[in-house]
Amino acid sequence: MMDSKAAFWARGNQEVSLARLYIIRAAALLGIWGLFPTVETLATHTALDRGVHKALISGLWVTSLFALRYPLKMVPILLFELVWKLIWLLAFGLPEWRSGVGSPQLQGDLWSIGAFPAVVVLVIPWGYVWRNYVMQPGDRWR
Amino acid sequence: MASAAKSSGRGAVTDGADLSLVRLYVMRVIYLLIGLGEGSQIAPALFVHDPTARGVIPSLLSGMCLLCLLGLKYPRQMLPLLLFEMAWKYIWFFAFGLPQYLSGHLPPTFSDDFMPITFGVVLMPFVIPWGYFWRNYVLAPGDRWR
């Protein structure tokens, strides 16, 4: 019992632990569930909707489907989630919150976007990222 | 090579020999185009904007541009970004752009959005290495469940 429990959390000779794979999959499920209301609006939007926001979110929804099966290969999407939400927090969320002149959606966005980097940081397998996206030699140039 | 492909089932790590050099360069050009070309157009909006601007679209796009620069070093491993780029542009084109164009009811932002997004819709199918995608993101066994 202890052995299987330890094996669940330990990386052993694998890239990441089984626990980490499940954490990424849980984040993917959260994305599939949480973003679906936006995907639904693709069929019901108003005629003059700009749609870029909805299309971007729906694109992320598609990538979360892949992340259920291939959590490690979809790590770039996790990095993307971290980076764009941090950018939003630093360039829009925090300045607007501090100035007190935020947009009507600011409260909602602060939770759904601004709080997420703290979650994504815990989901990303940093050791794996370090080995494969920093230390590993890049693809060949010639 | 066969053993390398087998062991890559748990990560996306081989030496890059499974894609031609031409393909790697085509992908790098696109990463560069998105990263620097699109990035230089989007980035100013992060610093100079209406104080109540919602900012979701420029944040998403500039995050994409920033990460695409990592694609210069690892074109294969950053492929999910190109898949995302293709997915959202196709979704926009068929759910918004094309119906609006055909109906003639255009939102004021239409002229800004239509050309760059349609450009991506036409270009991305030629950039993505479909054989590699098929082998690694469809046929390859998923990461382990137990």
Residues 20-79 of A with CB under 8 A from B: 21, 42-43, 45, 47-56, 58-60, 62-63, 66, 68-77, 79
Q: Which residues in chain A are contacts of B106 at CB distance < 8 A? A: 48
Within a domain: residue A122? Answer: yes
How far is it, in rounded angstroms, from Cα A98 to Cα B58? Answer: 20
Q: What's the confidence (pLDDT) of residue A5?
A: 77
Mean pLDDT computed over every residue of chain A: 93
Q: In this predicted structure, what is the pLDDT of residue B52?
A: 87
Using CA atoms, how far residue A131 sits from B68, B114, B137, in Å, is 19, 40, 21
Residue A103 lies in a domain: yes
Report the domain count for chain A. 1
* Domain coverage including residue A29: 13-135
Q: Supply φ then ψ for residue A73, to 5 degrees.
A: -65, -25
Q: What is the pLDDT of residue A2?
A: 54
The reply to whether A22 falls in a domain is yes
Q: Can you state the angle between helices A75-88 and A18-44, rounded to 10 degrees?
A: 60
Mean pLDDT of the B78-89 span: 97
Cα distance from A83 to chain B (closest Cα, Å)? 5
The alpha-carbon gap from B130 to the nearest alpha carbon of chain A, in Å, equals: 15
Q: pLDDT digit string (tens) for A44-100?
A: 999 899 999 999 999 999 999 999 999 999 999 999 999 999 999 999 999 999 998
Q: Which residue in the set A60, A83, A136 is minimally distant from B66, CB to CB?
A: A83
Residues 6+ apart with CB under 8 A from B21: A140, A142
* Separation of alpha carbons A21 and A15, rounded Å: 10
> Above 80 in pLDDT, residue A6?
no
pLDDT digits (tens, 9 = 90+) for B35-56: 999 999 999 999 999 888 899 9
Model confidence, pTM: 0.90
pLDDT in tens, B89-140: 999 999 999 999 999 999 999 999 999 999 999 999 999 999 999 999 999 9
**pLDDT tens-digit map of B2-18:** 444 444 444 444 455 68
Q: Is residue A6 part of a domain?
A: no
pLDDT of residue B11: 43
| A85 located within any domain | yes
The predicted-structure confidence for A85-108, as pLDDT tens digits, reads as follows 999 999 999 999 999 887 778 989
User: Is residue A141 domain-resident?
Assistant: no
Is residue A86 assigned to a domain? Answer: yes
Residue pair A27/A124 in contact (Cβ under 8 Å)? The answer is: no
Dihedrals phi, psi of A136, to nearest 5 degrees? -65, 135
CA B40 to chain centre: 17
Domain presence at residue A36: yes
